[in-house]
Amino acid sequence: MDALIEKLKGQIIEQLNLAEIKPADINPDAPLFGDGLGLDSIDALELIVLLEKYYQIKIKNPADGKMIFESVRTMAAFIQSQGKA
Amino acid sequence: MISAIGNNVSEAYVNLSNAKTGIGKVNYLNTRYKDEFVLGEVKLSNEQLMDLISYHSPALNRTSLLGIAAANEAVKHSGIDLKDGLRTGLISSTTVGGMCKTELFYGEMVNEGKHLEVLDSHDAGESTEEIADHLGIKDFVTTISTACSSAANAIMLGSRMIKHGMLDRVIVGGVDSLSKFTFNGFNTLMILDKEWCKPFDENRKGLNLGEAGAYLVIESETSLKKRNGKALAKVVGYANSNDAYHQTASSPDGIGATTAIQQALKMSGLAPSQIDYINMHGTGTPNNDQSESKATINVFGNNVPKFSSTKAYTGHTLAAAAGVEAVISVLSLQHNKIFPNLNFTTPINEFGLVPVTKVTDQNLNHVLSNSFGFGGNCSSLIFRIVNEG
Amino acid sequence: MKVKGYITGSGCISPQNTTEKDYFFENVNGPEVDFFKAIEPSYKEHINSNLLRRMGRAIKMGVSAARIAMTEAGIENVDAIISGTGLGCFEDTEKFLLAIINNDETLLTPTSFIQSTHNTVGSQVALIMKCHGYNYTYAHRGFSFDTCVMDALMNLEEGKNNILIGGIEEHTPNYVEIFRKGKKLNDNNSNKYFEGKTSGIQLGEGTTFFVLSNEKKNAVAAIDGVAFLYKPQSAKEVADKANSFLKTHNISLENIDLVLFGFSGDKEFDKYLLEMLPSTSKNSATAQFKHLSGEYYTANAFAIWTANKIIENQKIPDVIRINSVSKSNINLILIVNGFQGINYSFTLITKC
């Protein structure tokens, strides 16, 4: 799980072009949206593409994203639950 | 006007009156998703469009073809003589421009240096100049590109130029053809409905894209009198405001939309109660219809006039949308008919607003038409019937 | 138009060092062979990193130039934002388009699509400033920025106070290469376009924003008016239009201190403007500017920036001069621009 979380942090930084941020700066349990990293609805769509690009997981309904993308840890857990880690 | 509901205004009127949608299976756009989605396509191939305008040139892209067809019809219908020496302008609008063609060749342009001339017709000004040259308009030519509010902004600028005495008359409107670029763009935003859209319905899932060219001829009173012309309607109010909330999403409190409607009303001198019908932007996306409903209630309170979105007929035609809906608004005024909000079942829980769902005969004097685009660009137009004789 | 637009703020990002304080063409940069690439500032100074991460070059340039202009004007907000661009945000457009082509319509990301629309710069500026006012984007070739000027003057006449207008253009390496392959670029190394001996253009890019106000405040110059000419059939038509435009401002060509020409370097495109040169050279100083900006749809914005600086300094830089007519006072500047021989505009700048 930890290895997946670290890998995911790097992929998120790249996909969202968070040039100023290093993986160590991201707390895996902090909220990605709202207060934490301050991501918005467009970032949510980018994360949906990330899941498909790197993990071959297709999310049909953007509303599902809310729970999956709560934090890096919930993302990792979701990927594992799909057997794609 | 040329759109999914007809190749000219008469055909459109028949389909509007029969509650017949033009949205359906994909025939012309060559996307890998063609069997999964529905679109509001113009029911003619490029070759057939060239037959329609009696001009064949492989250099013309689909956007230009639709634009020429519609602008041509508008000028003929108005009865103006473009050679009579009065100052005539063309203000068109587009978001796609030549992308419908560029996207077919850009790979080869970059990798093999082939089809380089296609880039010459890529920009937004291309279709406008094709229309201008086809009609022989030279006094003033420009193109607006503000996403889904474009044609409304063209109508506004044209009206203002006449008001400032800069032009005697102006052809205004917009055109967009379907392209893989736009289709995929909207798909990545996950705001397309794979099925027929449901504007203002609680269970709406998104929009259906469409394509169209739609133009109006606006003249000064002097110009009209000079040639003993007859006006169908008058532009009595307009406004453009910016949501300044998000790049693509509309604000939940509908501030940009509210401001645009209020300022258009202020300019027209009308009270909200004098609006007989609203042709809504109503794309069918969860976000737009929520924001627009909020804005409508902000302005009209408990007395929301009869309203409908006609996008379930035509699809969302992007830059052309406000032009299409201006034509539909004028048809409504002329025939005292409200065309329904098709495919509606359940009102949005939060607001409980119910649109007109059947073709309805109604005496109409003033129609409000809204168009709200990406980048928070919100425009509202108010038309009044002109009763001659 | 009865009102003039006082230039109370300006910001220019161009192939020259126009972001340097008090820059006045002391040193000039040539093209990289046939392409004038814009010198980009440190964007972090103007834009916060959360917004910056999503922005393509055109948007970064646009937002920065707008900020520079607003700072100079000393205002936080404006009544209207009007932008002009021929191609829009082409970097993002190309990104999305090539992704469609290379991935066969899969794995596409929304960011480059939403940033690609023509009105992205105008709406980003509005977003950052929280400006709910009038917001238009014009995308018509050589008229793109000129229509902004016209609309701004109309807005001022309608009672607005401060209008932010901008001309934006960016090119990608692929775009430049396509132009090059089509043999439209000129690497002739002669920048004396006024001699009418060269073929092909030198492509440029840049972004220039102005704040136009209804009050003079700290402005040194104003835009009095703009006129358009579409597809003229003769040099006489161009000359006649210049004269009739000046007549509406109660002046004639003889009153003009400097005529600033938009020669592109392609003698075919420039032919009507070249014919105007002899008659204007008698009484007025003459100059050209596209050998510093390169040719692009909204290059006229660079010309207006230059004219403003000339009036401020009361000097015509040698590096742009064509003739050597000397003028002790530079009060009236006429910019005569042409784009590909189809879109011509005339802009009158006056000392205020």
Query: DSSP readout, B136-183?
Result: T--SEEEEE--GGGHHHHHHHHHHHHHHTTS-SEEEEEEEE---HHHH
Does domain C221-351 correspond to CATH entry 3.40.50.1110?
A: no
**The architecture CATH gives domain C5-213:** 3-Layer(aba) Sandwich (3.40)
Q: Which of residues 171-190 of B touch A (CB under 8 A)?
A: 188-190
Element (DSSP H or E) covering residue C83: strand C80-85
User: Which positions in chain C touch B125 (Cβ < 8 Å)?
Assistant: 86, 139-141, 143-144
pLDDT at C1: 66
The amino acid present at C278, given as its one-letter code, is: P
At CA B128, angle to CA B283 and CA C86, rounded to 5?
A: 85
Residue pair B245/B251 in contact (Cβ under 8 Å)? The answer is yes
Interface contact flag, A42 B190, Cβ < 8 Å: no
CA–CA dist B272, C80 (Å, integer) = 26
Residue pair B328/B232 in contact (Cβ under 8 Å)? The answer is no
Q: Which of residues 26-85 of A touch C (CB under 8 A)?
A: 38, 42, 45-46, 49, 52-53
What is the location of CATH 3.40.47.10 in chain C? 5-213, 221-351
Interface contact flag, B249 A41, Cβ < 8 Å: yes
What are the tens digits of pLDDT across the range C7-50?
Answer: 999 999 999 999 999 999 999 999 988 899 999 999 988 898 88
Say yes or no: C131 contacts chain B, CB-CB below 8 A: yes
Report the pLDDT averaged over residues C236-258. Answer: 97
Residue C191 has pLDDT above 50, yes or no: yes
Residue A41 has pLDDT above 60, yes or no: yes
> What's the alpha-carbon Rg for chain C, to the nearest Å?
19
CA–CA dist B307, B325 (Å, integer) = 13
User: Which positions in chain B touch A40 (Cβ < 8 Å)?
Assistant: 246
Q: How many helices (DSSP H) and strands (DSSP E) are in chain C?
A: 11, 12
Whether B122 is catalytic is no
Q: Which of residues 72-111 of B touch C (CB under 8 A)?
A: 95, 97, 99, 102-103, 106-107, 109-110
What are the tens digits of pLDDT across the range B40-91?
Answer: 999 999 999 999 999 999 999 999 999 999 999 999 999 999 999 999 999 9
Tokens representing B353 are 């607003």
Is the ipTM of this structure higher than 0.90?
yes
pLDDT at C349: 98
Residue pair C142/C161 in contact (Cβ under 8 Å)? The answer is no
Tokens representing C19 are 């972001």
Residue A37 has pLDDT above 90, yes or no: no
Residue C343 has pLDDT above 70, yes or no: yes
pLDDT at B388: 63
Low-confidence ranges of chain B (pLDDT < 50): 389
Residue C133 has pLDDT above 90, yes or no: yes
Q: Which of residues 179-208 of B touch C (CB under 8 A)?
A: 180-181, 184-185, 187-189
> A55-61: long-range contacts (C-beta < 8 A, 24 or more apart)?
A55/A79, A55/A82, A55/A84, A55/A85, A56/A84, A57/A82, A57/A84
Out of C49, C50, C111, name the one closest to residue A46 (CB): C111
Say yes or no: C153 contacts chain B, CB-CB below 8 A: no
Interface contact flag, B190 A45, Cβ < 8 Å: yes
- Cβ neighbors of B256 (< 8 A, separation 6 or more) are B241, B242, B243, B244, B245, B250, B372, B376, B377, B378, C132
Testing the interface with B: which of A45, A66, A69 to mutate, by most B Cβ within 10 A? A45
Interface contact flag, C109 A38, Cβ < 8 Å: no
Tokens representing A73 are 């840890």
Say yes or no: C44 contacts chain A, CB-CB below 8 A: no
> Could you give the percent of chain C with pLDDT greater than 90?
93
Q: Which of C114, C164, C146 is nearest to B95 (CA)?
A: C114
CA–CA dist B192, A84 (Å, integer) = 28
User: Which positions in chain A touch B249 (Cβ < 8 Å)?
Assistant: 41
Say yes or no: B129 contacts chain C, CB-CB below 8 A: yes
Predicted TM-score (pTM) of the model is 0.97
Residue pair B368/B360 in contact (Cβ under 8 Å)? The answer is no
CA–CA dist C11, C147 (Å, integer) = 19
What are the tens digits of pLDDT across the range C39-70?
Answer: 999 998 889 888 899 899 999 999 999 999 99
Say yes or no: C107 contacts chain B, CB-CB below 8 A: no
Give the start-end residues of each E strand in C249-315.
258-262, 285-288
pLDDT at A35: 76
CA–CA dist C199, B10 (Å, integer) = 50
**Active-site residue (options: B148, B197, B366, B378):** B148
What are the tens digits of pLDDT across the range B157-181?
Answer: 999 999 999 999 999 999 999 999 9
CA–CA dist C18, C39 (Å, integer) = 9
Residue pair C208/C11 in contact (Cβ under 8 Å)? The answer is yes
pLDDT at B389: 44
Residue pair C266/C291 in contact (Cβ under 8 Å)? The answer is no
CA–CA dist C236, C252 (Å, integer) = 16
Q: How many helices (DSSP H) and strands (DSSP E) are in chain A?
A: 4, 0
What values do phi and psi take at B239, rounded to 5?
Answer: -165, 150
Which string of DSSP letters, residue by residue, matches C170-197?
A: ---HHHHHHHHHTT-B-------GGG--
Tokens representing B319 are 């830059």
What are the tens digits of pLDDT across the range A58-84?
Answer: 998 888 888 999 999 999 999 999 987
Name residue, tokens 């890019």. C205
Residue C306 has pLDDT above 80, yes or no: yes
Report the gap between the CA of C228 and the closest CA in chain B (Å). Answer: 7
User: Which positions in chain B touch C178 (Cβ < 8 Å)?
Assistant: 109-110, 113, 116, 119
Residue A85 has pLDDT above 80, yes or no: no
CA–CA dist C149, C345 (Å, integer) = 11
- Cβ neighbors of C192 (< 8 A, separation 6 or more) are C291
CA–CA dist B272, B250 (Å, integer) = 23
Confidence of residue C332 (pLDDT cuts 50, 70, 90): very high
> What's the alpha-carbon Rg for chain A, to the nearest Å?
12
Mean per-residue pLDDT over chain C, rounded = 96
